[in-house]
Amino acid sequence: MDFQNRILTHFHNSIDTKSQASEVLPAHIEYASRLMVDSLLNEGKILSCGNGGSAGDAQHFSSELLNRFERERPSLPAMALSTDTSTLTSIANDYSYNEVFSKQIRALGQPGDVLLAVSTSGNSANVIQAIQAAHERDMKVVALSGKDGGNMASLMTAEDCEIRVPSDVTARIQEVHLLVIHCLCDLIDEQLFGGM
């Protein structure tokens, strides 16, 4: 196989995964956006977390809310929990890497806030502990997952929202996660600011 055909295979696989996701995810994405908007309208905030590429997605989401997405509008309260290296390394060193997000949520999370928890496998131990801590703080959870939802799936309550990408390939799941994040940002802006 030459390189260009290999590249085309990646494009086609990505398109196929997005097409499958478009058939099952829109209602979940809409519900997640409503959870987030309800929190923001009630002076809540959105905390986000993940590891590796999912940490990048969590940071991408918070930056789109804090700064702007595609329109000029006031900044919205959001924070990625993967950005403070001193906090992350001190918790990992003094306690456990599995607690790097949960300890922050216990300190910063308030009832009515929302946690955006990102894990392609649904099995990241520190993201699972983050979900548990969010529930302890009376927060709702929006989980971005893939594959079979992993251990995160069993933690979702009736008020939470799991957006599970129908794929077993990490790269494809991450590509859809980014699209979901952009959908959430657009829907949040539309609900809060309309035709502003």
Can you say which residues are annotated as belonging to the binding site for Zn(2+)?
60, 64, 174, 182
At 32, is the secondary structure helix, strand, or coil? helix
Residue numbers in the known binding site for substrate are: 51-53, 64, 93-94, 119-121, 124, 174
Residue numbers in the known binding site are: 51-53, 60, 64, 93-94, 119-121, 124, 174, 182
Interatomic CA distance for residues 32 and 142, integer angstroms: 6
CA-to-CA separations, 55 to 8, 18, 72, 90, 128, in angstroms, rounded: 27, 21, 26, 18, 14
Say if CB 163 and CB 32 are below 8 A apart.
Answer: yes
Partners of 117 in the β-ladder:
49, 143
CA-to-CA separations, 77 to 6, 14, 63, 71, in angstroms, rounded: 41, 32, 10, 16
